[in-house]
Amino acid sequence: MPAFALVDCNNFFVSCERVFRPELEGRPVIVLSNNDGCVISRSEEAKALGIGMGAPFFEVRALVAEHGVAWISANHELYVDMSKRVSSVLARHAPVVENYSIDESFLAFPADRTLEERARALRAEVRLWTGLPVSIGLAPTKALAKLGSDKAKRAGGVLSLLDAGAREAILDDTPVTHVWGIAQRSALRLAPHGIRTAGDLARARDALIRSVLGIGGLRLAHELRGTPCLTLAAAPTERQSVTVSRSFGKPVYGLEALKSALAAFAARAAERARRHGLRAGELSVHLGRRVDGRPVLEGTSARLPPTNDTPTLIRAAKALAEKLFVNGRAYKKAGVVLAGLEPADAAQNELFDDGSAGRSARLSRVVDRLNASLGAGAVRYGGENTSSAWGARCESRSPHWTTRWDELKTVRAAV
């Protein structure tokens, strides 16, 4: 029988920062989202202080000051690069690897008795080559492997749930909300049926699970029983959408400022679509604000002849912004979503092609190449005015240590 391993980087963003700033070891550390808005990664010491995942920064600021918590603005360029380094180590150890998220990968192995030992060796090797600590769960299904890696954090870094007997006690000791795919809403619907732990869910009747959670929940229950329903997605699936959205550093009231922000987002989205060899048949724009303290998103969309041309997408985004905009509203965020994606080479040419599309595509390629070599945003289209009217706060970002020559870390040897 095959076995799955889930390799999970512990407190990934914080750990990436610590690799280059070892003085942060042993101290409480948090990493903040865009705009320094909320907490998106916490060291164990920070968790122990009661700082919650996703907590708004302003709510924990007193705690941060009181305990000398180090806080860092997110540096995604660094995290993406570190993630690739981890993947390349994993690829040397398993025939099939699914990079599930920036900090988690599923591996598939033929199950044998040496698996736990090999997992420990793998863990040591990731540490050696990247400086990052990982936890590994081993199990006959993905959902169980996920649970295993969770528990592994307090069990020496590797935990096997391959043995059915050993699993039972662990499942009974796991709240159902710790199961991959079950969150608060589902837990509330399960509670009236006496289902509170992972073990309860595994033992529940199929018909009941199906009626309460739907087909996805039923698959999960089978996975918890040790019957694989989820397979390894070795090849990344075709992406369905591309989103670029940002919260603003301060509220935006003017249509022109909104349009310039959306133009910049549309340009980033177009760039991403081109990088994936895709073009979009639909573009939507959303504007976000707060009403009675609650976030509200208003959006609208338009069909397009499939394209990944930046000026075309910028025009479409601006037109939708004009439709949505209401004078006097305090906008806090905006975004652009590309959908209806298809391969860019599935050329279904416009009936009346005057050749301008070809010129525009060549221009886009040049812009992409310049931005790749000179750094993002080096070349921009006129409409995308990165004005300070909507710029994000980002007070304490670390350098791009691994991806920019001029920001390399300097190390001096003591003589």
Partner DNA sequence: TCTGGGGTCCTAGGACCC
Stretch that binds DNA, among 65-73, 88-96, 98-106, 316-324 (CB under 7 A): 98-106
The CB-of-196 to DNA minimum distance in angstroms stands at: 14
237 binds DNA (CB under 7 A): yes
Give how far Cα 242 sits from Cα of 106, 133, 215, 237, 338, Å: 24, 31, 27, 14, 5
- Which string of DSSP letters, residue by residue, matches 368-406? HHHHHHH-TTSS--TT----TTTPPP---BPP-TTT-GG
Which of these segments, 19-27, 91-99, 241-249, 317-325, binds DNA (CB under 7 A)? Answer: 241-249
Dihedral sign of CA atoms 399, 270, 41, 38 in order: positive
Residue type, 266: A
CA dist list (Å): 12 to 7, 19, 82, 231, 385: 12, 11, 9, 25, 33
- Residue 403 · residue 77 · CB < 8 Å: yes
Catalytic: 256? no
- Compose the 49-88 pattern: x for residues touching DNA by CB under 7 A, - for all others: -----x-x-x------------------------------
Q: How far is the CB of 392 from DNA (least distance, A)?
A: 6
> Considering only residues 113, 154, 185, 412, which one is a binding residue for DNA as defined by CB under 7 A?
185
- 21-50: contacts with DNA (CB under 7 A): 33-35, 37-38, 40
Distance CA 158, CA 352 (A): 61
Based on CB atoms, which residue is closest to DNA, 111 or 392? 392
Q: How many angstroms separate the CA atoms of 121 and 411, rounded? A: 29
Q: Is the dihedral of CA 113, 114, 117, 123 positive or negative?
A: negative
Residue 274 binds to DNA (criterion: CB under 7 A): no
Asked if 18 interacts with DNA (CB under 7 A), we say: no
CB of 407 to DNA, least distance (A): 22
Identify which of 130, 115, 180, 185 has the alpha carbon closest to the alpha carbon of residue 151.
Answer: 180
Determine if 231 is a binding residue for DNA (CB under 7 A): no
Which residues in the 307-336 window bind DNA by CB under 7 A? Answer: 332-333, 335
Find the binding residues for DNA in span 369-398 (CB under 7 A): 392
Tokens of 221: 């229950």
- 223 contacts DNA (rule: CB under 7 A): no
Q: Does 180 bind DNA (CB under 7 A)?
A: yes
- Residues with catalytic roles: 104
For DNA, the binding residues (CB under 7 A) are 33-35, 37-38, 40, 54, 56, 58, 100-104, 146, 179-187, 214-216, 237, 239-247, 251, 272, 293, 295, 332-333, 335, 392
